[in-house]
Amino acid sequence: MNNINVLCIRMRKVFICTALLVGYAWTFGACPGAGAAPDIIVTLEGVEGDIKDNILEYLSIAQQKKDTDLTPGLVEKLHKQAPDQIRQALQPFGYYNPVIQSELVQEDSVWQAHYTIDPGKPVVIDSIDISIEGEAAGDENFTTMLKELPLKKGDVLNHQHYEEAKRMFYNTAAKFGYIKAEMIASRVDVYPDTYIAAVTLHFNSGPRYYFGEIEFIQDTFDPEFVSRFAQFHRGDPYQLSDILMLQNSLNNSDYFDSVEITPLMDESENRQVPLRITLLPRKRNKYTAGLGYGTDTGFRGSLGWENRRITRTGHRLKADLRLSEIKSSLTTEYIVPLANPRTDNFVYNAGRLIENTKTSESQKYSGGVHYNHTRNDWKESVYIKYELEKYEVGDDTGHSALLIPGISWTKINIDIFHLLVQGSRLYLDIRGAHESLLSDTSFMQFHMLLKYIFRITPLSRLILRGEGGGTLINEFSELPPSVRFFAGGDTSVRGYAYQSLGPEDEEGNVKGGKHLVVGSIEFEHQILDFDKWSAAVFYDAGNAINELSDTLKKGAGFGVRWKSPVGPVRVDLGFPLDKADKSWRIHLIIGPD
């Protein structure tokens, strides 16, 4: 009997030890296929694009497939939940009666979760009940907004469009001064059996508010000067866009270190909202310095000084010294703000420029005045300047005196997607001189620059660049090099040296041309650490010419771009494609172009 008890006790110990070992193996993976989290592959068939992405966001089995705590039992549970989750994910796109087939297969430790989805017939908007109460009922801003609503009778019901429509009501109200606006009824009634939906949006704008007293708190500038930054006045409709524009104007003026605009809602009377604008001025003097390198210019540096407030009415004085191996300049500017100090000013300038390239030598003194203002989306500059220049270019030498009136327009559009810049820049300039107006020769000239950058993929972009110019003149030899056209270099036709392209004299020296034609196409793609490095390939063509039938030079190559801590670095290897030119050339730019 004692032997039997001992045997039972020993068997019980063996059973307990075995259970502990099995539990340990199950927990820590000693048994094959038991410890590690199962691998899950989720596939969807029958849907694409935004609908597929939304389903994957809803599916718990897709969201938790990398969870280390998953067990086979939990995988099966998540799989059973999937059809209901798919139905919920389809509804925002108007699909309320889908047919879903699901399958879950295990092969070793890998689970295959496959879902075949037939979204079915979509629900369409059968009726839209929209009403606007309050003062906005006759407001043309809301009339325009209603025409742009993404909800139309007969459209497939899309809940994202419905939410966007509600936001448009609130945004329009906030933008145009309906501060107490509210949506008093908003719903979507869906009838899945008949595949129709009814949308209801009832909006009460309440009263419209207006700007009250506008108070600027500062003691640095004349109040009248500061008030000119506001392009609205007391009694004008209260618009959020006007406040944002004023904030941007003051911030971008470089007069103020901080700008705080506070609408005093609690102090409004007769629906007029006072504004309190607190300004902290920047330091009076501003100093700048820069270094760079370019194949065209060699090492270059700059020093700048600016007095931000010569007077209490915002007059400014600037001086810039720029030095490089081929070009050195000293310029001064006196800036007088006008009625709209954000965009309009007079600029009086004077300077000296010395330039020595392989094609020309020049010393120029200049002085003039520019009237700068904005016309629609264009920056317009009307100017007149007087230039005295001593020069030697090709076999032409001499002194010139030119009084040059002109006008230029610039338009810039910039968008940023992730870390890529997309946009365009267009510059047009027309200028001339006449012997009867303090000039040694008569000419008329236009110059155009165009750069267009657009995104192809999230990591790549295409850069198109064009430059053109033309000159009307009788005696070209009397035109100084600063008014002639040259081609070749880092920002012109790559593969050729700076200003090395153009008509030549009898000894083969480039002396510049009457006209200019340059075009470039470049593909750039981000590589490695994607916010720092990119690679590029390019093709350039162009020349400075005297006749439109003259030959254009061509160059092509590749390069890398690096956003370094000290500024952008661009390295290009350019190859001339003309039979007479067999050499290649490195184009290196450190710092802004």
Q: Tens digits of per-residue pLDDT, 227-264?
A: 999 989 999 999 988 999 999 999 999 999 999 999 99
Q: What is the CA radius of gyration of the chain?
A: 36
Mean pLDDT along residues 282-299: 90
Question: Do the strands 256-263 and 553-564 form a parallel or antiparallel pair, or are they unpaired?
Answer: unpaired
- Please identify, among 118, 146, 173, the residue that sits at the C-terminal boundary of a domain: 118
Mean pLDDT along residues 559-582: 85
**pLDDT digits 0-9 by tens, 127-156:** 999 999 999 998 999 999 999 999 999 999
Are residues 255 and 337 located together in one domain of the fold? no
* pLDDT at site 78: 92
- Amino acid (one-letter) located at 18: T
What domain range includes position 402? 285-590
pLDDT band at 32 (very low <50, low <70, confident <90, very high): very low
pLDDT band at 426 (very low <50, low <70, confident <90, very high): very high
List strands edge to edge, sheet with 110-118.
Answer: 39-45, 110-118, 99-107
Are residues 302 and 431 located together in one domain of the fold? yes
Rounded CA gap, 31 and 189, in Å? 55
Are residues 384 and 434 located together in one domain of the fold? yes
Whether 422 shows a pLDDT value over 90: the answer reads no
CA atoms lying within 13 Å on the CB side of residue 449: 10
Mean pLDDT of the chain: 89
In the chain, the number of structural domains is: 4
Are residues 107 and 130 located together in one domain of the fold? no
**pLDDT digits 0-9 by tens, 113-123:** 999 999 999 99
**pLDDT digits 0-9 by tens, 530-557:** 578 999 999 999 999 999 889 999 999 9
* pLDDT at site 359: 86
**What is the token pair recorded at 341?**
């100090």
- Please identify, among 204, 232, 267, the residue that sits at the C-terminal boundary of a domain: 204
* pLDDT at site 530: 59
Q: Is residue 30 part of a domain?
A: no
The more confident residue out of 17 and 135 is: 135
- Please identify, among 139, 173, 204, the residue that sits at the C-terminal boundary of a domain: 204
Rounded CA gap, 19 and 25, in Å? 10
Are residues 177 and 311 located together in one domain of the fold? no
CB of 215 closer than 8 Å to CB of 275: yes
pLDDT band at 372 (very low <50, low <70, confident <90, very high): very high
